[in-house]
A and B are shown apart, each in its own frame.
Chain A
């Protein structure tokens, strides 16, 4: 049951660009990436689009479809009305390279700024042990496919270019949370760094990161807010702070 689908595809580069109207055939069961590929093969041979697995697991085909940050391979054409025009644009928080492809290197720079896992110095390879309940906690954050839809939708950087230097973004807050909740990680000051260097305080928990996550990671409830509470423990709660001076309290380092 093929049908004619009306689309508007943003084409251009860093200097200029515009939405271009196309009509393309769409078959039953197809996703937006399929029809973009058909446009590419039949009408716009040089249309730039990043994609890889077509199964929602590689995080490459992140784009904005009718204004919403989504994975094109996981967006059914049938989820739009028969007469609806589907508008696709590149991610709008990152510099555009060409057409639907953006430069996401901001995220890789931020990734490098996060201090990595630090086990106790005397822990030999093969000796690390974790209980299942502790593993499960960070398992959720490990589902991240790094599509960077959360980074793209977060208004802290999407709407304020100047905040990029001081804000790591939701993807890296779940990384920090995962490490801070890791029973074998002993790095001190992860919480302070989260607040002072990675811009956790910039987040106003408006939850758009959680809304767009294709892996349904509860970024705000399970990573950002717990990290904010942990920061309060070490920075804004005099009683807790006093408690750490009197006797060692677990988790507050």
Chain B
């Protein structure tokens, strides 16, 4: 096999490989039938941005079927929503505050470089919230992410508003920090190993944890994570499986109940 742009023939010479983040399993919590975001009226999410679809690990190709099914549901859900929804009132003060916030990075000078903060955040999540995780490292990551969040309030940007990637990144940083902090705090709470989440200090799969999702919320300053019970597997689906197969993943109590009626 030949990798043309790099001109490396891996049958003859070694090839450098490394892990990268290529998908986020978590995402916006949505109602499964309408793809409406829980707690944010008028927001609909489908695809990688929506959470809960792929369990603890997405299988190759499944995001395409996710897009097709939940993209359609989101479209229909949104269409249904606008029929009854009224415009949300927005105060002049809120608009002014948003405009100021957008303008702010241009008014500062000598502040943080958004690209450098981005690179540092990548470094932290790659090293400490990566493939193999430990409680101590996650704790360190959470502290470091909080540090970056503080510094991100002081980003300054050069140039104008037209197609300015440094300017865009200043705002993307907020979202990246949100995802990084939610991921790290959910990961430190989940004391087991499952799917894409591997804890070196809790290497075993624990069926009790399968019954729980972690829901992250943001108060403007920091992310808090709470446990939320997962709906039980309906009986008609439960019956489709060989019970010995389910025993690998479910607690004895769940097996005894035989699925939700």
Contacts and interface: CB of A to CB of B under 8 A. Distances in A.
Contact of B162 (A13, A49, A76): A13
B115 A40 contact: yes
B165 A47 contact: yes
Contacts of A99: 163
Contacts, number: 48
Contact of B163 (A74, A75, A97): A97
B5 interface: yes
A45 interface: yes
Interface string A164-198: 00000000000000000000000000000000000
A46 B5 contact: no
Interface in B119-146: 119
Interface in A22-81: 29, 31, 40-42, 45-49, 56, 73-76
Interface string B5-18: 11100000000000
B157 interface: yes
B6 A46 contact: no
A98 B115 contact: no
A98 B157 contact: no
B61 interface: no
Interface string B95-127: 000000000000000000111100100000000
Interface residues of B, number: 19
A227 interface: no
A40 B114 CA distance: 11
Given A41-B115, A56-B5, A98 B163 contact: yes
B159 interface: yes
Contacts of A219: none
Interface string A72-103: 01111000000000000000000001110100
A46 B170 CA distance: 11
Contacts of A101: 163
Interface string A95-122: 0011101000000000000000000000
A74 B4 CA distance: 9
Contacts of A74: 4-5
Nearest to B114: A45
A101 B165 CA distance: 11
Residue of B4, B6, B163 ringed by the most chain A CB atoms within 10 A: B163
Nearest to B16: A29
Nearest to A31: B5
Nearest to A101: B163
Interface string B35-77: 0000000000000000000000000000000000000000000
A13 B166 CA distance: 17
Contact of A45 (B113, B162, B163): B113
Residue of B113, B158, B159 ringed by the most chain A CB atoms within 10 A: B159
B164 interface: yes
Given A41-B115, A41-B116, A41-B119, A46 B167 contact: yes
Contact of A46 (B4, B116, B119, B164): B164
Contacts of A76: 5-7
A194 B235 CA distance: 58
A45 B116 contact: no
Interface in B146-179: 157-160, 162-167
B5 A45 contact: no
Contact of B157 (A13, A31, A46, A73): A46
A110 B165 CA distance: 29
Contacts of A46: 157-160, 164-167
Contacts of B163: 48, 97-99, 101
A26 B157 CA distance: 25
Nearest to A42: B115
Contacts of B115: 40-42, 45
24 contacts: A31-B5, A40-B115, A41-B113, A45-B113, A45-B114, A45-B157, A45-B159, A45-B165, A45-B166, A46-B158, A46-B159, A46-B164, A46-B165, A46-B166, A48-B162, A48-B163, A48-B165, A56-B5, A74-B5, A76-B5, A76-B6, A98-B162, A99-B163, A101-B163
A-B interface, 8 closest residue pairs, ranked by CB to CB distance from nearest: A46-B159, A45-B166, A41-B115, A48-B163, A46-B164, A98-B163, A74-B5, A45-B158
